Structure 1
Amino acid sequence: MGEAYAYPPAGIAVRDHSRTLFAQTMGYVAVTTGLFAMGAYLGRNLPVGVAFLAYLASFAALIAMQFTVRRSRQTTVALLLGFGLLMGVAVAPTLVYYASTDPQALWQAGGATALFVAAFGAAGYATRRDLSALARICFWALVALLVFGIVLIFVNIPYGSLIYSVLGLVIFAGFIMFDFQRLRRSKDIDAAPLLAASIFLDILNVFLFFLRIFRGGSR
Protein backbone atom coordinates (compact mmCIF):
# COMPACT_ATOMS: atom_id res chain seq x y z
CA MET A 1 0.00 0.00 0.00
CA GLY A 2 2.85 2.36 0.84
CA GLU A 3 4.31 2.01 -2.67
CA ALA A 4 0.93 2.77 -4.23
CA TYR A 5 0.91 6.13 -2.50
CA ALA A 6 4.59 6.80 -3.14
CA TYR A 7 4.22 6.75 -6.93
CA PRO A 8 1.40 8.57 -8.73
CA PRO A 9 -0.48 6.77 -11.53
CA ALA A 10 1.27 6.99 -14.90
CA GLY A 11 -1.54 9.02 -16.47
CA ILE A 12 -1.29 11.68 -13.78
CA ALA A 13 2.50 11.84 -14.13
CA VAL A 14 2.21 12.34 -17.90
CA ARG A 15 -0.37 15.09 -17.49
CA ASP A 16 1.78 16.87 -14.90
CA HIS A 17 4.77 16.60 -17.22
CA SER A 18 2.76 18.04 -20.11
CA ARG A 19 1.56 20.94 -17.96
CA THR A 20 5.12 21.67 -16.85
CA LEU A 21 6.40 21.67 -20.43
CA PHE A 22 3.48 23.82 -21.57
CA ALA A 23 4.02 26.33 -18.76
CA GLN A 24 7.77 26.58 -19.34
CA THR A 25 7.44 26.86 -23.11
CA MET A 26 4.76 29.55 -23.02
CA GLY A 27 6.75 31.38 -20.35
CA TYR A 28 9.73 31.44 -22.70
CA VAL A 29 7.46 32.61 -25.53
CA ALA A 30 6.20 35.48 -23.37
CA VAL A 31 9.71 36.59 -22.37
CA THR A 32 10.98 36.28 -25.95
CA THR A 33 8.05 38.37 -27.16
CA GLY A 34 8.85 41.01 -24.54
CA LEU A 35 12.47 41.14 -25.66
CA PHE A 36 11.29 41.33 -29.26
CA ALA A 37 9.28 44.43 -28.34
CA MET A 38 12.34 45.89 -26.59
CA GLY A 39 14.50 45.18 -29.64
CA ALA A 40 11.94 46.83 -31.91
CA TYR A 41 11.99 49.92 -29.69
CA LEU A 42 15.78 50.07 -29.53
CA GLY A 43 16.08 49.58 -33.27
CA ARG A 44 13.42 52.07 -34.34
CA ASN A 45 15.97 54.67 -35.49
CA LEU A 46 18.75 52.36 -36.66
CA PRO A 47 19.74 52.09 -40.34
CA VAL A 48 18.24 49.31 -42.43
CA GLY A 49 21.71 47.76 -42.77
CA VAL A 50 21.90 47.26 -39.02
CA ALA A 51 18.47 45.63 -39.07
CA PHE A 52 19.67 43.21 -41.74
CA LEU A 53 22.74 42.29 -39.68
CA ALA A 54 20.49 41.75 -36.67
CA TYR A 55 18.33 39.46 -38.81
CA LEU A 56 21.36 37.34 -39.74
CA ALA A 57 22.56 37.27 -36.14
CA SER A 58 19.13 36.21 -34.90
CA PHE A 59 19.12 33.17 -37.15
CA ALA A 60 22.70 32.38 -36.17
CA ALA A 61 21.44 32.26 -32.57
CA LEU A 62 18.55 30.04 -33.63
CA ILE A 63 20.90 27.59 -35.36
CA ALA A 64 23.26 27.61 -32.36
CA MET A 65 20.35 26.55 -30.14
CA GLN A 66 20.18 23.26 -32.02
CA PHE A 67 23.70 22.43 -30.79
CA THR A 68 23.43 23.71 -27.22
CA VAL A 69 20.04 22.23 -26.29
CA ARG A 70 21.60 18.94 -25.13
CA ARG A 71 24.66 20.51 -23.55
CA SER A 72 23.61 23.58 -21.62
CA ARG A 73 20.06 24.66 -20.89
CA GLN A 74 21.28 28.06 -19.65
CA THR A 75 23.13 28.73 -22.89
CA THR A 76 20.11 27.65 -24.93
CA VAL A 77 17.81 29.96 -23.00
CA ALA A 78 20.30 32.83 -23.36
CA LEU A 79 20.41 32.23 -27.11
CA LEU A 80 16.59 32.20 -27.23
CA LEU A 81 16.41 35.54 -25.45
CA GLY A 82 19.09 36.99 -27.70
CA PHE A 83 17.18 35.67 -30.68
CA GLY A 84 14.06 37.53 -29.57
CA LEU A 85 15.93 40.78 -29.01
CA LEU A 86 17.79 40.62 -32.32
CA MET A 87 14.63 39.73 -34.22
CA GLY A 88 12.99 42.81 -32.73
CA VAL A 89 15.81 44.97 -34.05
CA ALA A 90 15.53 43.26 -37.45
CA VAL A 91 11.78 43.86 -37.76
CA ALA A 92 11.93 47.41 -36.34
CA PRO A 93 12.04 49.17 -39.77
CA THR A 94 8.91 47.29 -40.87
CA LEU A 95 7.05 48.20 -37.69
CA VAL A 96 8.15 51.83 -37.94
CA TYR A 97 6.88 51.94 -41.52
CA TYR A 98 3.45 50.65 -40.56
CA ALA A 99 3.31 52.84 -37.46
CA SER A 100 3.96 55.95 -39.56
CA THR A 101 1.69 55.08 -42.50
CA ASP A 102 -1.16 53.06 -40.97
CA PRO A 103 -0.92 52.59 -37.18
CA GLN A 104 -4.40 51.08 -37.07
CA ALA A 105 -3.12 48.11 -39.04
CA LEU A 106 -0.73 47.27 -36.19
CA TRP A 107 -3.56 46.99 -33.67
CA GLN A 108 -5.75 45.06 -36.06
CA ALA A 109 -2.94 42.65 -36.89
CA GLY A 110 -2.13 42.18 -33.21
CA GLY A 111 -5.71 41.32 -32.31
CA ALA A 112 -6.16 39.03 -35.30
CA THR A 113 -2.90 37.25 -34.49
CA ALA A 114 -3.96 36.58 -30.90
CA LEU A 115 -7.28 35.06 -32.01
CA PHE A 116 -5.65 33.10 -34.84
CA VAL A 117 -2.94 31.55 -32.65
CA ALA A 118 -5.38 30.79 -29.83
CA ALA A 119 -7.78 29.01 -32.18
CA PHE A 120 -5.30 26.90 -34.12
CA GLY A 121 -3.07 26.34 -31.09
CA ALA A 122 -6.01 24.93 -29.15
CA ALA A 123 -7.00 22.76 -32.11
CA GLY A 124 -3.49 21.37 -32.43
CA TYR A 125 -3.13 20.77 -28.70
CA ALA A 126 -6.45 18.92 -28.50
CA THR A 127 -6.29 16.80 -31.65
CA ARG A 128 -5.32 13.13 -31.32
CA ARG A 129 -4.37 12.71 -34.95
CA ASP A 130 -0.63 12.78 -35.68
CA LEU A 131 0.14 16.05 -37.48
CA SER A 132 3.68 15.17 -38.57
CA ALA A 133 2.55 14.68 -42.17
CA LEU A 134 0.85 18.08 -42.07
CA ALA A 135 4.11 19.67 -40.91
CA ARG A 136 5.98 18.18 -43.88
CA ILE A 137 3.34 19.44 -46.29
CA CYS A 138 3.51 22.90 -44.72
CA PHE A 139 7.29 22.96 -45.03
CA TRP A 140 7.23 22.35 -48.77
CA ALA A 141 4.29 24.72 -49.14
CA LEU A 142 6.39 27.37 -47.40
CA VAL A 143 9.25 26.78 -49.84
CA ALA A 144 6.77 27.22 -52.72
CA LEU A 145 5.43 30.38 -51.08
CA LEU A 146 8.94 31.84 -50.89
CA VAL A 147 9.36 31.17 -54.60
CA PHE A 148 6.00 32.82 -55.24
CA GLY A 149 7.17 35.83 -53.22
CA ILE A 150 10.27 36.16 -55.42
CA VAL A 151 8.07 36.00 -58.52
CA LEU A 152 5.93 38.82 -57.14
CA ILE A 153 9.00 41.05 -57.03
CA PHE A 154 9.37 40.84 -60.80
CA VAL A 155 5.83 40.10 -62.00
CA ASN A 156 2.76 42.20 -61.27
CA ILE A 157 0.01 39.73 -60.35
CA PRO A 158 -3.43 41.15 -59.46
CA TYR A 159 -4.01 40.79 -55.71
CA GLY A 160 -0.66 39.04 -55.51
CA SER A 161 0.17 40.44 -52.08
CA LEU A 162 -3.21 39.38 -50.68
CA ILE A 163 -2.88 35.88 -52.15
CA TYR A 164 0.63 35.61 -50.72
CA SER A 165 -0.55 36.62 -47.24
CA VAL A 166 -3.61 34.36 -47.18
CA LEU A 167 -1.55 31.38 -48.32
CA GLY A 168 1.00 32.22 -45.64
CA LEU A 169 -1.69 32.20 -42.98
CA VAL A 170 -2.94 28.81 -44.17
CA ILE A 171 0.58 27.39 -44.01
CA PHE A 172 1.31 28.76 -40.55
CA ALA A 173 -2.03 27.57 -39.27
CA GLY A 174 -0.65 24.09 -39.95
CA PHE A 175 2.67 24.88 -38.26
CA ILE A 176 0.90 26.27 -35.19
CA MET A 177 -1.24 23.15 -34.85
CA PHE A 178 1.82 20.93 -35.19
CA ASP A 179 3.92 22.89 -32.69
CA PHE A 180 1.16 22.93 -30.08
CA GLN A 181 0.63 19.21 -30.55
CA ARG A 182 4.35 18.76 -29.88
CA LEU A 183 3.80 20.63 -26.63
CA ARG A 184 1.34 17.93 -25.54
CA ARG A 185 3.25 14.95 -26.87
CA SER A 186 6.85 15.82 -26.05
CA LYS A 187 8.40 14.24 -22.95
CA ASP A 188 11.59 16.28 -23.06
CA ILE A 189 11.55 19.30 -20.74
CA ASP A 190 14.89 20.42 -22.18
CA ALA A 191 13.15 20.98 -25.53
CA ALA A 192 11.12 23.88 -24.10
CA PRO A 193 13.41 26.65 -25.46
CA LEU A 194 13.36 25.19 -28.97
CA LEU A 195 9.60 24.76 -28.87
CA ALA A 196 9.31 28.35 -27.67
CA ALA A 197 11.45 29.60 -30.56
CA SER A 198 9.30 27.69 -33.05
CA ILE A 199 6.03 29.00 -31.61
CA PHE A 200 7.42 32.54 -31.43
CA LEU A 201 8.35 32.37 -35.13
CA ASP A 202 4.85 31.09 -35.93
CA ILE A 203 3.32 34.04 -34.09
CA LEU A 204 5.65 36.57 -35.69
CA ASN A 205 4.98 35.34 -39.21
CA VAL A 206 1.22 35.31 -38.67
CA PHE A 207 1.45 38.88 -37.35
CA LEU A 208 3.41 40.03 -40.41
CA PHE A 209 0.97 38.36 -42.79
CA PHE A 210 -1.96 40.05 -41.07
CA LEU A 211 -0.11 43.36 -41.30
CA ARG A 212 0.06 43.01 -45.08
CA ILE A 213 -3.63 42.12 -45.26
CA PHE A 214 -4.86 44.98 -43.08
CA ARG A 215 -2.54 47.47 -44.70
CA GLY A 216 -3.84 46.44 -48.12
CA GLY A 217 -7.43 46.67 -46.93
CA SER A 218 -6.98 50.24 -45.74
CA ARG A 219 -5.90 51.58 -49.14
Structure 2
Amino acid sequence: MADWNDPQSTRQGGFGASPSLNGDLIGRAGAYNQGLRRHMLSIYNYMASGVLLSGVVALLFARSGMAAQIMATPLKWLIVLAPLGFVFGMSLGAHKMKTATLQALFWGFCLVMGLSMSTIFLVFTGASIATTFFATAGAFAGLSLFGYTTKKNLSAMGSFMVMGLIGILIAMVVNLFLQSTGLQFAISVLGVLIFAGLTAWDTQRLRDEYDMLAGTEFAGKAVVLGALTLYLDFINMFQFLLSFLGDRE
Protein backbone atom coordinates (compact mmCIF):
# COMPACT_ATOMS: atom_id res chain seq x y z
CA MET A 1 0.00 0.00 0.00
CA ALA A 2 1.02 3.60 -0.33
CA ASP A 3 3.44 4.89 2.28
CA TRP A 4 0.98 7.45 3.56
CA ASN A 5 -1.30 4.66 4.72
CA ASP A 6 1.40 3.51 7.14
CA PRO A 7 0.67 4.93 10.61
CA GLN A 8 4.37 5.76 10.88
CA SER A 9 4.05 8.24 8.03
CA THR A 10 1.24 10.15 9.73
CA ARG A 11 3.29 11.04 12.78
CA GLN A 12 4.97 14.40 13.24
CA GLY A 13 8.07 14.47 11.13
CA GLY A 14 10.34 15.77 13.90
CA PHE A 15 12.34 19.01 14.11
CA GLY A 16 11.94 21.17 11.02
CA ALA A 17 9.01 19.19 9.56
CA SER A 18 6.40 21.26 7.78
CA PRO A 19 3.08 21.34 9.71
CA SER A 20 1.17 21.80 6.46
CA LEU A 21 2.88 18.76 4.93
CA ASN A 22 2.10 16.61 7.96
CA GLY A 23 -1.48 17.82 7.94
CA ASP A 24 -1.78 16.97 4.26
CA LEU A 25 -0.41 13.46 4.84
CA ILE A 26 -2.82 12.88 7.72
CA GLY A 27 -5.71 14.13 5.60
CA ARG A 28 -4.77 11.87 2.70
CA ALA A 29 -4.42 8.87 5.03
CA GLY A 30 -7.82 9.59 6.55
CA ALA A 31 -9.47 9.89 3.14
CA TYR A 32 -7.82 6.68 1.98
CA ASN A 33 -8.91 4.69 5.04
CA GLN A 34 -12.44 6.03 4.74
CA GLY A 35 -12.58 5.03 1.09
CA LEU A 36 -11.20 1.57 1.88
CA ARG A 37 -13.77 1.00 4.62
CA ARG A 38 -16.56 2.09 2.29
CA HIS A 39 -15.27 -0.24 -0.43
CA MET A 40 -15.06 -3.26 1.87
CA LEU A 41 -18.43 -2.49 3.47
CA SER A 42 -20.01 -2.50 0.01
CA ILE A 43 -18.49 -5.92 -0.66
CA TYR A 44 -19.80 -7.30 2.63
CA ASN A 45 -23.26 -5.82 2.04
CA TYR A 46 -23.51 -7.47 -1.38
CA MET A 47 -22.19 -10.75 -0.02
CA ALA A 48 -24.54 -10.83 2.99
CA SER A 49 -27.54 -9.87 0.85
CA GLY A 50 -26.65 -12.62 -1.61
CA VAL A 51 -26.42 -15.24 1.14
CA LEU A 52 -29.78 -14.09 2.52
CA LEU A 53 -31.39 -14.29 -0.93
CA SER A 54 -30.03 -17.80 -1.50
CA GLY A 55 -31.24 -18.94 1.91
CA VAL A 56 -34.76 -17.62 1.39
CA VAL A 57 -35.00 -19.13 -2.09
CA ALA A 58 -33.69 -22.50 -0.85
CA LEU A 59 -36.16 -22.61 2.02
CA LEU A 60 -39.18 -21.61 -0.09
CA PHE A 61 -38.25 -24.00 -2.91
CA ALA A 62 -37.88 -26.89 -0.48
CA ARG A 63 -41.02 -26.11 1.50
CA SER A 64 -43.10 -25.80 -1.68
CA GLY A 65 -42.38 -29.44 -2.52
CA MET A 66 -40.97 -28.49 -5.92
CA ALA A 67 -37.39 -29.24 -4.86
CA ALA A 68 -38.17 -32.89 -4.08
CA GLN A 69 -39.98 -33.28 -7.40
CA ILE A 70 -37.51 -31.51 -9.67
CA MET A 71 -34.38 -32.92 -8.02
CA ALA A 72 -35.67 -36.41 -8.84
CA THR A 73 -35.55 -35.61 -12.57
CA PRO A 74 -32.69 -34.92 -15.01
CA LEU A 75 -33.58 -31.22 -14.67
CA LYS A 76 -31.65 -31.25 -11.41
CA TRP A 77 -28.38 -31.14 -13.33
CA LEU A 78 -29.36 -27.84 -14.89
CA ILE A 79 -30.01 -26.40 -11.44
CA VAL A 80 -26.83 -27.89 -9.97
CA LEU A 81 -24.54 -26.75 -12.80
CA ALA A 82 -26.13 -23.35 -13.49
CA PRO A 83 -24.18 -21.58 -10.69
CA LEU A 84 -20.91 -22.64 -12.32
CA GLY A 85 -22.01 -21.00 -15.55
CA PHE A 86 -22.73 -17.75 -13.71
CA VAL A 87 -19.34 -17.82 -11.96
CA PHE A 88 -17.38 -18.40 -15.15
CA GLY A 89 -19.44 -15.85 -17.06
CA MET A 90 -18.94 -13.15 -14.43
CA SER A 91 -15.25 -13.87 -13.92
CA LEU A 92 -14.30 -14.05 -17.59
CA GLY A 93 -16.59 -11.33 -18.91
CA ALA A 94 -16.36 -8.73 -16.16
CA HIS A 95 -14.13 -6.35 -18.13
CA LYS A 96 -16.56 -6.27 -21.06
CA MET A 97 -19.74 -5.97 -18.99
CA LYS A 98 -21.32 -2.90 -17.52
CA THR A 99 -21.49 -2.72 -13.74
CA ALA A 100 -25.29 -3.01 -13.82
CA THR A 101 -25.04 -6.19 -15.91
CA LEU A 102 -22.56 -7.71 -13.48
CA GLN A 103 -24.82 -6.83 -10.57
CA ALA A 104 -27.80 -8.48 -12.27
CA LEU A 105 -25.75 -11.63 -12.88
CA PHE A 106 -24.71 -11.69 -9.23
CA TRP A 107 -28.34 -11.68 -8.08
CA GLY A 108 -29.16 -14.31 -10.68
CA PHE A 109 -26.30 -16.43 -9.39
CA CYS A 110 -27.54 -16.13 -5.80
CA LEU A 111 -31.02 -17.15 -6.94
CA VAL A 112 -29.90 -20.33 -8.73
CA MET A 113 -27.58 -21.14 -5.84
CA GLY A 114 -30.63 -21.02 -3.61
CA LEU A 115 -32.39 -23.48 -5.89
CA SER A 116 -29.41 -25.85 -5.92
CA MET A 117 -29.01 -25.65 -2.12
CA SER A 118 -32.67 -26.40 -1.44
CA THR A 119 -31.86 -30.09 -1.00
CA ILE A 120 -30.18 -29.41 2.36
CA PHE A 121 -33.65 -28.75 3.78
CA LEU A 122 -34.71 -32.19 2.56
CA VAL A 123 -31.72 -33.94 4.11
CA PHE A 124 -30.90 -32.07 7.34
CA THR A 125 -33.05 -30.84 10.21
CA GLY A 126 -33.87 -27.15 10.35
CA ALA A 127 -32.26 -26.81 13.80
CA SER A 128 -28.92 -28.24 12.63
CA ILE A 129 -28.96 -26.04 9.52
CA ALA A 130 -29.55 -22.94 11.64
CA THR A 131 -26.86 -23.92 14.16
CA THR A 132 -24.31 -24.62 11.44
CA PHE A 133 -25.18 -21.38 9.65
CA PHE A 134 -24.56 -19.24 12.73
CA ALA A 135 -21.37 -21.16 13.52
CA THR A 136 -20.17 -20.51 9.98
CA ALA A 137 -21.15 -16.84 10.21
CA GLY A 138 -19.15 -16.43 13.41
CA ALA A 139 -16.11 -18.20 11.99
CA PHE A 140 -16.33 -16.24 8.75
CA ALA A 141 -16.50 -12.92 10.60
CA GLY A 142 -13.44 -13.77 12.70
CA LEU A 143 -11.40 -15.05 9.77
CA SER A 144 -12.31 -12.10 7.57
CA LEU A 145 -11.42 -9.66 10.36
CA PHE A 146 -8.07 -11.39 10.73
CA GLY A 147 -7.42 -11.15 7.00
CA TYR A 148 -8.35 -7.47 6.99
CA THR A 149 -6.26 -6.43 9.99
CA THR A 150 -3.17 -8.66 9.86
CA LYS A 151 0.06 -7.20 8.55
CA LYS A 152 1.37 -10.66 7.64
CA ASN A 153 1.32 -11.43 3.93
CA LEU A 154 -1.04 -14.38 3.42
CA SER A 155 -0.19 -14.99 -0.24
CA ALA A 156 1.81 -18.15 0.45
CA MET A 157 -1.02 -19.57 2.54
CA GLY A 158 -3.52 -18.62 -0.16
CA SER A 159 -1.54 -20.44 -2.84
CA PHE A 160 -1.36 -23.52 -0.60
CA MET A 161 -5.11 -23.38 -0.02
CA VAL A 162 -5.79 -23.17 -3.76
CA MET A 163 -3.68 -26.27 -4.30
CA GLY A 164 -5.59 -27.98 -1.49
CA LEU A 165 -8.87 -27.00 -3.14
CA ILE A 166 -7.80 -28.68 -6.36
CA GLY A 167 -6.95 -31.79 -4.37
CA ILE A 168 -10.37 -31.70 -2.68
CA LEU A 169 -12.13 -31.49 -6.04
CA ILE A 170 -10.18 -34.50 -7.34
CA ALA A 171 -10.98 -36.45 -4.17
CA MET A 172 -14.68 -35.62 -4.51
CA VAL A 173 -14.72 -36.94 -8.07
CA VAL A 174 -12.95 -40.13 -6.98
CA ASN A 175 -15.41 -40.60 -4.13
CA LEU A 176 -18.32 -40.49 -6.55
CA PHE A 177 -17.19 -43.98 -7.56
CA LEU A 178 -15.84 -45.21 -4.21
CA GLN A 179 -18.70 -43.94 -2.05
CA SER A 180 -16.42 -44.09 0.99
CA THR A 181 -17.85 -42.52 4.16
CA GLY A 182 -14.36 -42.19 5.62
CA LEU A 183 -13.09 -40.31 2.58
CA GLN A 184 -16.22 -38.14 2.59
CA PHE A 185 -15.59 -37.19 6.21
CA ALA A 186 -11.96 -36.33 5.44
CA ILE A 187 -13.06 -34.21 2.46
CA SER A 188 -15.54 -32.33 4.64
CA VAL A 189 -12.99 -31.58 7.36
CA LEU A 190 -10.33 -30.48 4.87
CA GLY A 191 -12.93 -28.46 2.99
CA VAL A 192 -13.76 -26.45 6.11
CA LEU A 193 -10.07 -25.78 6.79
CA ILE A 194 -9.33 -24.82 3.19
CA PHE A 195 -12.20 -22.37 2.88
CA ALA A 196 -11.39 -20.95 6.29
CA GLY A 197 -7.90 -20.14 5.01
CA LEU A 198 -9.27 -18.81 1.73
CA THR A 199 -11.62 -16.48 3.63
CA ALA A 200 -8.71 -14.78 5.39
CA TRP A 201 -6.57 -14.64 2.25
CA ASP A 202 -9.33 -13.38 -0.02
CA THR A 203 -10.20 -10.64 2.46
CA GLN A 204 -6.60 -9.47 2.55
CA ARG A 205 -6.36 -9.64 -1.23
CA LEU A 206 -9.53 -7.59 -1.69
CA ARG A 207 -8.25 -5.04 0.82
CA ASP A 208 -4.91 -4.69 -0.95
CA GLU A 209 -6.52 -4.46 -4.40
CA TYR A 210 -8.22 -1.23 -3.39
CA ASP A 211 -4.92 0.59 -4.01
CA MET A 212 -5.17 -0.13 -7.74
CA LEU A 213 -8.94 0.24 -8.01
CA ALA A 214 -9.66 3.46 -6.13
CA GLY A 215 -11.12 6.02 -8.50
CA THR A 216 -11.14 3.71 -11.52
CA GLU A 217 -14.09 2.65 -13.65
CA PHE A 218 -13.59 -0.97 -12.55
CA ALA A 219 -14.09 -0.18 -8.84
CA GLY A 220 -17.84 -0.85 -8.96
CA LYS A 221 -17.31 -4.16 -10.74
CA ALA A 222 -14.63 -5.12 -8.21
CA VAL A 223 -17.19 -4.77 -5.42
CA VAL A 224 -19.48 -7.32 -7.10
CA LEU A 225 -16.64 -9.73 -7.89
CA GLY A 226 -15.32 -9.39 -4.35
CA ALA A 227 -18.76 -10.19 -2.98
CA LEU A 228 -18.91 -13.25 -5.23
CA THR A 229 -15.56 -14.46 -3.91
CA LEU A 230 -16.50 -14.10 -0.25
CA TYR A 231 -19.95 -15.58 -0.94
CA LEU A 232 -18.33 -18.72 -2.34
CA ASP A 233 -15.96 -18.94 0.64
CA PHE A 234 -18.88 -18.66 3.08
CA ILE A 235 -21.26 -21.06 1.31
CA ASN A 236 -18.63 -23.74 0.76
CA MET A 237 -17.44 -23.55 4.37
CA PHE A 238 -21.08 -23.81 5.49
CA GLN A 239 -21.83 -26.82 3.27
CA PHE A 240 -18.70 -28.73 4.28
CA LEU A 241 -19.36 -28.00 7.95
CA LEU A 242 -22.99 -29.09 7.61
CA SER A 243 -22.03 -32.35 5.94
CA PHE A 244 -20.47 -33.72 9.13
CA LEU A 245 -22.13 -31.65 11.86
CA GLY A 246 -25.70 -31.58 10.57
CA ASP A 247 -28.38 -33.90 11.93
CA ARG A 248 -30.17 -35.74 9.16
CA GLU A 249 -33.94 -36.00 8.87
Q: Same fold (TM over 0.5)?
A: yes
The CA deviation at 1:124 is 0.8
Q: Is the aligned partner of 1:54 residue 2:76?
A: no
Q: Check conservation: 1:112, 1:210, Cα contact below 8 A.
A: no
Match of 2:48 among 30, 33, 37: 30
Q: Check conservation: 1:124, 1:178, Cα contact below 8 A.
A: yes
Q: State the superposition RMSD in angstroms.
A: 2.6
1:148 alignment partner in structure 2: 171
The CA deviation at 1:156 is 5.9
Q: Is the aligned partner of 1:121 residue 2:144?
A: yes
1:133 alignment partner in structure 2: 156
Tell me the distance in 2 between the aligned counterparts of 1:90 and 1:172.
20
The CA deviation at 1:73 is 0.8
Tell me the distance in 2 between the aligned counterparts of 1:200 and 1:156.
28
Name the aligned partner's letter for residue 171 of structure 2.
F
The CA deviation at 1:107 is 2.0
Name the aligned partner's letter for residue 201 of structure 1.
L
Q: Check conservation: 1:40, 1:90, Cα contact below 8 A.
A: yes
The CA deviation at 1:4 is 9.5
The CA deviation at 1:110 is 0.9
- TM-score when normalising by structure 1: 0.86
Q: Is the aligned partner of 1:13 residue 2:36?
A: no
Q: Check conservation: 2:59, 2:121, Cα contact below 8 A.
A: no
1:150-165 aligned within 5 A = 150-155=173-178, 157=180, 159-165=182-188
Name the aligned partner's letter for residue 156 of structure 2.
A
1:204 alignment partner in structure 2: 235
Moved over 6 A (4+): 1-8
1:56-101: CA deviations, max 9, x gaps?
A: 2222222222213564111111111110011100111233221xxx
- List runs of 5+ in structure 1 lacking aligned partners: none
Q: Check conservation: 2:199, 2:230, Cα contact below 8 A.
A: yes
- TM-score when normalising by structure 2: 0.76
Tell me the distance in 1 between the aligned counterparts of 2:22 and 2:224.
34
1:8-51: CA deviations, max 9, x gaps?
A: 72211220121111111011112211221232134322311444
1:84 alignment partner in structure 2: 110
Figure out how many residues of one structure are paired with residues of the other and give that number. Answer: 215
Tell me the distance in 2 between the aligned counterparts of 1:40 and 1:139.
28
Query: CA separation of 1:161/1:182 partners in 2, compared to 1, >3 Å: closer, same or farther?
Result: same
Q: Identify the structure with the greater helix proportion.
A: 1
| Identity score, percent | 26
The worse-fitting range, judged by mean Cα deviation, of 24-33 and 69-78 is: 69-78
